[in-house]
Structure 1
Amino acid sequence: MLATHQLRAGYGSVAVLFDVDIAVGAGESIAIIGANGAGKSTLVRAICGLIPSMAGTIEKEGRPIQSLPPHARAEHGVAVVLEGRHLFGELSLESNLRIAETQGSKRRNARFDFSFEDVLDLFPFMRGRLGAPVGVFSGGEQQMVAIGRALLLKPDLLILDEPSTGLAPKVVREIVAVIQTLRQKGMSLLLIEQHIGVASECSDRAYVMSLGKIVKELDSTDWHDQSLLAEITQAYLG
């Protein structure tokens, strides 16, 4: 579904990512975990085309996409919920969703054809708030709007950048439940997380990042090794 090979990227002439190799298979949920400053969000921005690649490749279903602009990558089925959400705060919830729905209509024969009603079913609180400006919503509600908006782009790969950061535990559980629903539907997910507990609940495998490099890989059995998880938390997430 998605792969990076020897990816190097950064800001201006300063590299932040160094020879990053990751792969997300069809229907897989993969986590990238690491502390603040590890390079996780820079990796997201490079994959989505918000910053240029300095070297290496980014492939979507075997096709290099690193030279494509962000909108073209979205048209190839890559959607992202960036940290900070980037909603149109002065516009209503419905307007935020309809804008994405219009863009998603360009995706013909998408594997995951989420409709406006599908998003409302996934996030029931939205039904009574469609006319409200999203700028007055809580952080958790805004995160759900951002995820719903991304789904209306009809992606087959959804990237979530720090979806649990700053949210109350109850809201985190709701977000985790939504991610698990998307996994059950077979959507490919790339989850950027600092919290190893959320990552373990929501992903099949994980890569650990530190100082712009992949320093460790975890498979599905590693999520049950509490001593290993404690070691990783102390070494890379403390």
Structure 2
Amino acid sequence: MSIWEVHAIKYADRNARHRGDSFIFDDNHDAPHPMDYFMWLLRSGDQTILVDTGYDDAEAQARGRPIRLHPAAALAPFGLGPADIDRVIVTHLHYDHAGGLHLFPNATLHMQAAEMAFATGPCMCHDTLRMPFTADHVCEAVKRLYSGKLVFHDGVGQIADGITVHCIGGHSRGLQAVRVRTQAGWLVLASDAAHYYENVFARKPFPIVVDLQDMLDGFDVLRELASTPELIVPGHDPLVRAIYPTGIADHITRLDLGPEKPVPGAKG
């Protein structure tokens, strides 16, 4: 029975945001509401799996959203370089989660078939739906498919002993969460199924949404997958770094030992 370490790796942040950017329904929509950007590293024995890849300097410049750490440099405290990563779980193909796929050429990708169909299908004719995607990132996933380095999952899929993926949808058609067996119990990396704790625990939808019902139903799925609500880890909440212990570097947070402080809303 594999028990996994789980590390959140912060590579960027955006402070010029407001609550209206994070919640569809909020009375205080113009209050500041910063966002952190993460990749996640899973380790067990000699196995290493990367969850999402961040985005690189070129994407940062194109979107006017600077990064603090290049994704490859962010892995350096683990003694890892891009060539050492042989598996990447792609939670979805939005630029901030799949913008570094090309940096990990040896990796086999794991993603939902629904996400590839969405990112390459007629929905991309709409500017609003296409906005979070970048064509080069989607093309990199297609190239990986044609080189035999992409595994599709349809709903629930097992990546390794103690790691499963679960299609949630909502924010993107094939968005998947990652369930990991840890010392603290079953931990769920929500990715963008819940950008913030408040999304899932106050049931406030995030404004970038393809299917609102899937997003709301997904909040319940996250609760079902985690051993306790406290072990749901949202994809962009700066509170994660305040609640969980700092890891082996300032930009790394250790998740698998469980939270050190109360998780807002988890007991509600």
Task: Pick the TM interval, shorter chain.
Answer: 0.3 to 0.5
The structure, 1 or 2, with the larger RCO (C-alpha pairs under 8 Å, 6+ apart) is 1
Larger fraction in helix? 1
User: What TM-score does the superposition give when structure 1 sets the normalisation length?
Assistant: 0.34
